[in-house]
């Protein structure tokens, strides 16, 4: 499995920073990437269906577990949340 390119990681970091500006309280334990994910989820689920979205997320998690071990704790509900 190949790792994400530095350009892709940089884009992801910029996207997370942009989407979470002013949205994160000091007491929140939710990773910042989840804010972006929750914003994208309804639109992607409409485009590809809930099952398709869940499959995409499951594949993304499987591919990223080696590089980001903390993602092993992520569980996806039936509705994709």
- In the prediction, which pLDDT does 47 show? 92
State the pTM of this model. 0.65
Q: What is the pLDDT of residue 7?
A: 92
Q: For every one of its 81 residues, what pLDDT tens digit does the chain have, with 9 covering 90 and above?
A: 567 788 988 988 888 888 878 665 555 566 777 778 888 888 988 999 988 888 888 888 888 888 888 888 888 888 777
Domain boundaries, the chain: 33-81
* Contact criterion met (CB below 8 Å) for 53 and 74: no
């Amino acid at each position: 499995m190949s790792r994400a390119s530095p350009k892709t990681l940089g884009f992801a970091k910029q996207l997370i920073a942009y989407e979470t500006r002013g949205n994160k309280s000091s007491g929140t334990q939710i990773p910042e990437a989840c804010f972006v994910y929750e914003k994208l989820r309804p639109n992607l689920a409409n485009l590809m269906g809930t099952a398709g979205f869940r499959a995409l997320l499951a594949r993304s998690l499987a591919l990223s577990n080696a590089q980001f071990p903390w993602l092993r704790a992520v569980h996806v509900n039936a509705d994709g949340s």
